[in-house]
């Protein structure tokens, strides 16, 4: 951690709460919002992994829409065109976790360049970050679009090295998704896993270098490491 020269964050589930769409889902399907959101997110992830294995890339927005269609079919919920458009649009406006604004401001004040590396398209990343007013916090918003494969493929993590013009050992990767943290650690990044809900880390042959419960613990961790 003493040699960290930049920090790269996952977006979905790490800085932004994917289940902030549950309320919007409940407007169309009362009492089913969180249930829909949980299945929707899981299928969205599965579709990115499967598409990568198939060598058939499509945009994150398309994967998100396909996952929503599956979810409603699976739950036998009628999904009209208006609801489909509205709910998919809600994914472009998901909300940051409560501590994110202050934590990013503190990290930026420490002089470390910050970036997002996301499975999202350029459009989706810009919309999500812009809607929350956090664009100015980041030196780079990096999308998988340029390599047309999703995380945890190593080609994606290499994009952060290129953007920062740093060796992977100098870039701290931060994610709340254990599969993503494992992929980044396998690539060679030092990794900080945010475990907000007491989850079990995936058995993928990797271990995060640091574990925190909330993003606001990261500035303190960096300061302690640099002064140790």
The backbone torsions φ and ψ at residue 16, rounded to the nearest 5 degrees and listed phi first, read -120, 140
Q: Are strands 191-194 and 16-17 parallel, antiparallel or unpaired?
A: unpaired
The span from the CA of 180 to the CA of 156, in Å, is: 11
Cβ count near 215 (within 10 Å):
26
Cα-Cα end-to-end distance for the chain: 10
* H or E element, residue 191: strand 191-194
Tell me which of 10, 165, 209, 216 is the catalytic residue.
10
Is there a catalytic annotation at residue 216?
Answer: no
Distances (CA, A) of 42 to 5, 13, 99, 195: 33, 12, 24, 17
Residue 117's contacts (CB-CB under 8 Å, 6 or more residues apart) are 8, 9, 10, 11, 142, 151, 156, 157, 159, 160, 173
Report which of 90, 117, 71, 104 is spatially closest to residue 20, judged by C-alpha positions.
90
Catalytic residue numbers? Answer: 10
């Amino acid at each position: 951690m003493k040699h960290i020269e930049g920090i790269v964050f996952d977006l979905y589930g790490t800085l932004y709460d994917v289940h902030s769409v549950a309320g919007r889902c409940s407007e169309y399907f009362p009492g089913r919002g969180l249930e829909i959101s949980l299945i929707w997110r899981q299928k969205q992830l599965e579709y990115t992994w499967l598409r990568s294995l198939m060598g058939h890339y499509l945009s994150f927005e398309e994967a998100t829409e396909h996952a929503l269609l599956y979810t409603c079919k699976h739950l036998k919920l009628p999904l009209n065109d208006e609801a489909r458009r509205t709910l998919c649009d809600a994914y472009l406006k998901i909300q940051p976790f409560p501590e994110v604004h202050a934590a990013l401001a503190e990290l930026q004040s420490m002089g470390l360049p910050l970036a997002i590396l996301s499975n999202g398209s350029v459009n989706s990343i810009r919309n999500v970050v812009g809607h929350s007013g956090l664009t100015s916090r980041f030196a780079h918003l990096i999308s998988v679009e340029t390599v047309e494969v999703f995380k945890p493929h190593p080609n994606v993590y290499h994009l952060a090295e290129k953007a920062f013009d740093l060796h992977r050992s100098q870039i701290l990767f931060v994610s709340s998704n254990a599969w993503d943290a494992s992929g980044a650690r396998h690539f060679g990044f030092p990794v900080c896993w945010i475990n907000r809900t007491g989850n079990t880390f995936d058995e993928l042959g990797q271990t995060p270098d640091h574990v925190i419960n909330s993003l606001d613990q990261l500035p303190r961790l960096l300061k302690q490491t640099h002064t140790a």
